[in-house]
Structure 1
Amino acid sequence: MADVDFDRQVREAFSELEEIEDDDLRDRVVEAWTLGLERGGWLDIEDVPYAWNIQEVTNVEHVRGVTRIALETAREQREFHGADPDIDTIVAACLLHDVGKCYEYPDHVDDVVLEEPDPRYVSEEIPHSISGYALAHEVGCPLPVQRAIPHFLGEVPTRTLEAELVKSANSASSNAITQATMGITLQEWVEEYSQTA
């Protein structure tokens, strides 16, 4: 594979990494992205699309949007409701919630943005929320972060405040993207493309 500095790419793509106070956790988030990008055969983190059929928005843009929405909501939960969400867990999980798209989307992009995806990992058979959880587990992210990554209903039996926040921020960002790019809600997108999504 070409000599690509994924560590640098990830750190430059996600300024929100600086919101994570724990240096070790921040490095584990970067490591998970690096593994996903390497195994997926990507040359540039900015080439991973938001969705297989919405490629004018990057996954980086979406992940950053989810993280920003979740951070603002967590601040409101703390200031207005007196809740105590864990910011490191929220930011790490938001940044990792779609890292699995590195494995799921290589078949949906031009070959020029890829170099030899690893067939042991790359597949549309495993939803990106599950492969993202697996990457977080593999690099040793804490269990609360791992539990907040699967964002589809039924994937995790017990959901934490942080997991619910990641899921709702993901929905908010996704609805904005589908409306802006296709003029439809996320639910309409799911209904129209669920057979191939």
Structure 2
Amino acid sequence: MDQLRKSILEDLPEIEWISDPALRQGTIDAWALALEKSSFSRISEIPGEANPGMMVMRRGGQNVHLSGVTRLALASVDYFAAVYPEAVIDRDIVIAGGLCHDVGKAFECDPENQKRWKADASLVGRPSLRHPVYGAYICLTVGLPEAIAHIAACHSPEGDNVKRSLECIIVHEADVAWWTISAASGLTQDGTIPDHFTKKFEPRKAREMQKAAE
């Protein structure tokens, strides 16, 4: 296994929870392609932010967010599977969708792309493509199922214009919950929380964490 794919498994260990070998490999392939087309060398280098400069985490990269959203989504799946076994939810699609929902951020958050777009937005826009759109492109390019591309494309406000799949709803709600709880817990940097969030709550001051010895 090459170093890039090894780093993907290190940053997203939840990939191993996908039972379908083809879907598991496709998830790795999607992130490998996204990273190869960016200036990032691994997922954990992508800034932990909802959008460039918005909801910026005080610490941790996108890998923390991706793992967190996937785990929150799976908690919902497991609850309904236990209490309402008649509910038909595709666990593998939720896992892969959770891990790939922000695969497009390797493009949108790339500092080289941000620099180009800020220099002259009249050329290709700023950004030219938001991460949901680019993420769907990545998913389809590597052969991931349409259901995963749908989650990448529609987990964000873009999905408000369509009927989301059940698995997309689960990932979308987990994504919103993750960012809301993070912001309300004081885990995001001051001045990066958008107004529609700040009017809902007052962020709690997070405890001081002891820094590791140098």
Instruction: Give the TM bin, normalised by the shorter chain.
Output: 0.7 to 0.9
User: Offset of 1:14 from its aligned partner?
Assistant: 1.0
Q: C-alpha distance in 2, partners of 1:69/1:91?
A: 10
The amino acid across from 2:187 in the alignment is T
- Alpha-carbon RMSD across the aligned residues, in angstroms, is 2.6
Q: Aligned residue for 2:68?
A: 65
1:174 pairs with one of 173, 179, 187:
179
2:36 pairs with one of 34, 38, 42:
38
The amino acid across from 1:166 in the alignment is V
Q: C-alpha distance in 2, partners of 1:190/1:17?
A: 35
| Greater gyration radius | 2
Q: Aligned residue for 2:106?
A: 102
Equivalent residues, number: 176
Q: Aligned residue for 1:116?
A: none
1:93 pairs with one of 69, 86, 97:
97
Q: Compute the TM-score of the two structures, normalised by the length of structure 1.
A: 0.80
Q: Compute the TM-score of the two structures, normalised by the length of structure 2.
A: 0.74
Q: C-alpha distance in 2, partners of 1:67/1:75?
A: 12
Q: Aligned residue for 1:48?
A: 46
Contact 2:44 2:60 in 1 (8 A): no
Do residues 143 (structure 1) and 158 (structure 2) align?
no
Q: C-alpha distance in 1, partners of 2:101/2:139?
A: 9
Structure 1 stretches lacking a partner, 5+ long: 112-122
Q: Report the 3-state secondary structure (helix = DSSP H, G, I; strand = E; otherwise coil) of the residue aligned with 1:145.
A: helix
Q: Which has the higher strand share?
A: 1
Q: C-alpha distance in 1, partners of 2:195/2:38?
A: 24
| Cα deviation code 1:78-132 (max 9, x no counterpart) | 11233121011001110000111100112289x9xxxxxxxxxxx7221111111
User: Offset of 1:50 from its aligned partner?
Assistant: 1.9
User: Offset of 1:65 from its aligned partner?
Assistant: 0.1
Structure 2 stretches lacking a partner, 5+ long: 116-125, 199-214
Contact 2:180 2:197 in 1 (8 A): no
User: Offset of 1:61 from its aligned partner?
Assistant: 0.1
Q: Report the 3-state secondary structure (helix = DSSP H, G, I; strand = E; otherwise coil) of the residue aligned with 1:141.
A: coil
Q: Aligned residue for 1:118?
A: none
| Cα deviation code 1:24-64 (max 9, x no counterpart) | 11111111101111111112321101213315231000000
Q: C-alpha distance in 2, partners of 1:38/1:190?
A: 35
User: Offset of 1:154 from its aligned partner?
Assistant: 4.3
User: Offset of 1:171 from its aligned partner?
Assistant: 0.7
Contact 2:8 2:42 in 1 (8 A): no
